[in-house]
A and B are shown apart, each in its own frame.
Chain A
């Protein structure tokens, strides 16, 4: 199908997309004029405007077959109201209810016509877009066609599959990260190309880079203290939510942090950790930190007993602790010697370091990914981010359950539409009349 969805500025149509062009169009959108226009003309333009947003990828004939004049709605019931009256009070008098005790508050109106395009929300591609797994319905559609989507555990290749209540759909997390993440810069793309080339070249060769990583410092204690300090500082900058730090700068910081972590790890005697994956590195480091923390408390009371072995009950942990003994001891010595280091180990800072480490593990720099790493949301995503109630989404695994069909309730309608009732009502009216 030809993509007519390119968001042009001259037409100013609103699409199901997160692009900045769309945002600008959304911002400057004005309702079509109704003065001096026939009812037919009003309905026509309302229909044209709303169809550009709702199911633009669906052919008109297909949509007309899907259209249903029945609109689902619910009323939230209040149990105390139900208990107070069995209905006879409302029907008393002349059928308009008793004056006293009857329901006095005026209920808000149900915006029925806002639900005109509710059948389209059942489509798989639209539901994926609504769950924030794709940046546009067109992209969601592509994910489905390319086989990145499963429904109830089975691969589903039809974007027009109509979800049934209770269906669970899941999108490949890598695609979701790509769709919602910031794109790579030209520099990053070049790095990726080089990485690819390198891996192709050096497939058969032995890794000669191992030796480079191990650099023994002369003064161990000094070195560790410095590197831990640096680690702290970098962790702080990484965790700071200051917007002024540019992504490139943040990335540099992260790289430095990674390097610092590696330096600290290299000092612990287990040399295998360095070559291991990030996960083991992470667990090792947290273990180091934990050991330090456990030792810190007894250290204040009795300096003679640096190894708080009673704090770790499991034998497996103990052995690892002895492996990291060098670092712990050095740290202990530093804590005893200088005042600077005691301040370094406050709970708050420990927390920051831990958070930075977690983030480094969860959101690493990985040039093989198709999006900019570390992952960050794409620009202008937040302006479009909402999840309607008829979906229950779990972002961690990029899966969602279609709970029920969207409904209208007093004062609100669940179908996300940028148009008010002055557009949706004539549009609904257009499809009510059968013209084919």
Chain B
């Protein structure tokens, strides 16, 4: 966009005192001025509302900043710091020249998004399998499926889509393409991210005899303040990933330590806490049996299947429990449905004096906090 009208009409011939410090910048400005406008300005008595900074800005926008005005399809077009300009190397694109730690990371391309949807919905693959195949986080895959489904529904309903906008955005930012037939798919993001647990923030001095092997399992116990494993139990664990199977089958089997409010589960080793623990097992198998690729793959498939079955069962059970506790009533002749939720009003749920803050229903004799300062008054959750 052109600068506001004032800028065009100002020329250095009229405002020598303003532009004297900017002698280098003025010729380009004055050259663009049409002469008719120049005359208009000459008879105006008001001073031009143009500050030095504004002039500098438009100067910059017309020279160095001009490249930022429009994008080149398929390339990022970010502001470049001095370091970027000097090196001119093909590094990760950084939108902020002052912040070396922020990288503009790629997004899923349209084709890859549709591929994810096809694999999950039409080919009925599990999220876990698709995640490993394409190198996309499981949460992202679930989100992509939701969004593409919504998109298709809107399309079938004839609602307008923002297609030119979508195309323009995908031209401006880096995207992860879908691999051509026969090519290897480039992975979108690391899928085995281990969240840093707050318990590991502490620096603990813990002397261990040199003769003893101190593994990740032991480290987790030390962090969570649990007693050392008995030798008989510890000897059974040849590798931390041996714990995975039991915990997948029954997540409640993790040991607890502490009492009351301090009760916490024992911190598990990284092998258990990463999103795809079966990949560690696969790697172990590969090392143990380097020549039996087929057997290794088969064992891996079995383990993954078992894990998915267990997860699916848990989900179904939770869903069934939720459905069982809610009764849907649709009375005839009424404008509304009713959902009757089972509740338990006992001493445990309402507290000893019947006015525990977590009790169902509104409370008697408890001051209402709904207008207090510092209390969140807007919704904190929206049911999907």
**Interface residues, chain A, with chain B CB atoms under 8 Å away:** 9-10, 20-21, 23-24, 26-29, 31, 65, 70, 72-80, 82-84, 86-88, 91-93, 95, 111, 114, 132, 151-154, 156, 158, 160-162, 164-168, 173-174, 176-177, 180-181, 183, 241, 243, 359, 362-363, 374-377, 379-389, 392-401, 403-404, 407, 409, 411-413, 415-421
Contacts and interface: CB of A to CB of B under 8 A. Distances in A.
Question: Which of B69, B71, B99, B239 has the most C-beta atoms of chain A within 10 angstroms of its own C-beta?
Answer: B99
A173 B96 contact: no
Interface stretch (B102-110, B302-310, B329-337): B102-110
B193 A363 contact: no
A377 B101 contact: no
B384 A158 contact: no
A417 B146 CA distance: 29
Interface in B345-384: 374, 378-384
Contacts of A29: 98
B65 A27 contact: yes
A375 B164 contact: yes
B198 A70 contact: yes
A151 B161 CA distance: 18
Nearest to B190: A76
Nearest to B153: A397
A87 B99 contact: no
Interface stretch (B14-22, B72-80, B121-129, B225-233): B72-80
A376 to B, nearest CB: 7
A167 B216 contact: no
A151 B113 CA distance: 22
A399 B150 CA distance: 9
Given A395-B165, A397-B150, A420 B100 contact: yes
Nearest to A358: B163
A401 to B, nearest CB: 4
Q: List 9 tightest A-B contacts by C-beta distance, closest first.
A: A382-B71, A395-B166, A386-B104, A83-B283, A87-B216, A401-B143, A76-B190, A88-B213, A394-B147
B60 A387 contact: no
Interface string B237-281: 011110000000000000000000000000001110010100110
A161 B57 contact: no
A312 B76 CA distance: 44
A4 to B, nearest CB: 19
A109 B168 CA distance: 35
Nearest to A403: B139
18 contacts: A10-B51, A23-B65, A74-B195, A79-B192, A80-B283, A91-B214, A165-B139, A167-B384, A168-B146, A168-B147, A359-B164, A383-B68, A387-B105, A400-B147, A401-B143, A407-B195, A418-B96, A420-B99
A411 B100 CA distance: 9
A88 B214 contact: yes
Contact of B51 (A9, A165, A177): A9
B172 A382 contact: yes
B287 interface: yes
A164 B282 CA distance: 34
B172 A385 contact: yes
A177 B61 CA distance: 24
B169 A397 contact: no
A151 B68 contact: no
Contacts of B210: 92-93
A64 to B, nearest CB: 10
A22 to B, nearest CB: 11
A380 B60 CA distance: 13
A9 B77 CA distance: 23
B271 A173 contact: no
B95 interface: yes
A409 B103 contact: no
Contacts of A413: 101-102
A173 B215 CA distance: 54
A173 B163 CA distance: 10
Given A27-B79, A180-B168, A394-B150, 10 more contacts: A72-B196, A77-B270, A77-B274, A83-B283, A152-B383, A154-B382, A359-B164, A385-B77, A399-B147, A403-B139
Given A83-B287, A379-B1, A395 B170 contact: yes
Contacts of A74: 193-196
A100 B246 CA distance: 33
A93 B144 CA distance: 48
Contacts of B97: 26-27
Contact of B96 (A93, A399, A407, A416): A416
B147 A401 contact: yes
Nearest to A183: B1
Contacts of A403: 137, 139-140, 143
